[in-house]
Amino acid sequence: MEHSTRSTTSSGFTLIEMLVAIAIFTILMIGLLNLLDNSTRISKIESALADTQENVRYATYHLMRTARMMGGSTMPFVRGGGAGNAWVAGEVHDNPATNFSIWGTSLDNMPGSDILILSEADGSFRSSDVKKFLAYIEDAGMVIGTRTTKQMVDQAARMNFIIRMANVLWAKILQMMWFFTNETRFTDVGCTYRALWKETYQKIRPGLRAVGPEFSLEMMAEGLRQKVKIVEIPVKYFQREGGESKHSVSYYHLAKTALKMLRTIVRKKLERSTKQAPS
């Protein structure tokens, strides 16, 4: 009787194979971690370099602005008194009661005044927003404020839903009139808080004739006609001191103001280009 014996072999890894596999895995992990460490270090260096370049640009901007302002003691400030020639240039000073006050002289006699700022004198705006205008005016010819950002409008200010939507409507009409030549985004045509370069003002001054509430819109339209780069930024808006404006005291007066602005938009669109005033 024959007996057949089968030899059984057990499958698996030997101790040496396990050690070799662990060694290879360790080498790969060390290489991967080293690569990630180098990437992180390069990213930190690039971030630090970008911060340094931004600081240099910021310092250069302020040095250049300080150099341009030589001859004027503080930031020039401008307010409108009707026609373009009635503007007054002056200086911004802190005032606890109204946030700012103005001492002025004629625009042509204001040495070193490169940036002009226009604002109402009724306390509805705050001088703390000036720094925002300065930040954006570096890349634009004119920076205008908008009061249509609800979160920045004081509850006591006269800027209800109807007035806000009316401003947005006329702003969009103005925007569409010059859409193909100047793709500027507008949401407010009645905000007088704005900043512009003196060269920009001298460029648009011959076309400024309005003496009422449509003056702000006319400035915007003339800027579009002269292909001025205009940027709109949100500003804080508060209750007007000294009572309500006669242009918005009732919906009848608001309707009259709206018609004046519509007439101004049509007039500026049909008006021929004016020559630039001499510097």
What's the average model confidence in pLDDT over 134-152?
Answer: 91
pLDDT at 66: 63
Residue among 273, 176, 171, 174 at smallest CA distance from 225:
273
With pLDDT > 90 as the criterion, what percentage of the chain qualifies? Answer: 22
Q: Are 78 and 107 in contact (CB under 8 A)?
A: yes
Residue among 213, 205, 206, 193 at smallest CA distance from 262:
213
What's the average model confidence in pLDDT over 11-20?
Answer: 77
d(Cα 238, Cα 185) in Å, to the nearest integer? 23
pLDDT at 97: 39
Integer CA distances (angstroms), 228 to 89, 143, 194, 219, 231, in order:
21, 10, 14, 11, 10
d(Cα 138, Cα 32) in Å, to the nearest integer? 45
pLDDT at 18: 82
Which residue in the block uniquely carries the two structure tokens 């404006």? Answer: 245
In the sheet with 76-79, reading across from the earlier edge strand, the strands are: 101-105, 88-93, 76-79, 115-118, 194-197, 142-146, 230-234
Residue among 75, 60, 230 at smallest CA distance from 140:
230
**Does the pLDDT at position 220 exceed 90?**
yes
Which residue in the block uniquely carries the two structure tokens 């919906």? Answer: 251
Report the half-sphere exposure of 120 (CA within 13 A, side-chain side).
22
Q: Are 145 and 151 in contact (CB under 8 A)?
A: no
Residue among 220, 228, 229, 213 at smallest CA distance from 269:
220
pLDDT at 196: 93
pLDDT per residue as tens digits for the range 190-212: 899 999 998 999 899 999 988 88
d(Cα 97, Cα 71) in Å, to the nearest integer? 28
The one-letter amino acid code at 234 reads P
d(Cα 196, Cα 87) in Å, to the nearest integer? 13
d(Cα 172, Cα 139) in Å, to the nearest integer? 23
**Confidence band (pLDDT; 50, 70, 90) for 25?**
confident
- What does the mean pLDDT of the chain come to? 76
pLDDT per residue as tens digits for the range 110-130: 555 688 888 888 888 988 899
d(Cα 15, Cα 20) in Å, to the nearest integer? 9
What's the average model confidence in pLDDT over 232-249?
Answer: 80
d(Cα 118, Cα 225) in Å, to the nearest integer? 20
Angle CA(193)–CA(194)–CA(199) in degrees, nearest 5? 150
d(Cα 173, Cα 263) in Å, to the nearest integer? 12
Poorest-pLDDT segment among 60-64, 84-88, 155-159, 258-262? 84-88
For residues 110, 111, 115, 118, the Cα torsion angle rounded to the nearest 10 degrees is: -10
Q: Are 54 and 62 in contact (CB under 8 A)?
A: no
d(Cα 58, Cα 65) in Å, to the nearest integer? 11
What's the average model confidence in pLDDT over 41-47?
Answer: 84
What's the average model confidence in pLDDT over 70-99?
Answer: 39
The answer to whether the pTM exceeds 0.75 is: no
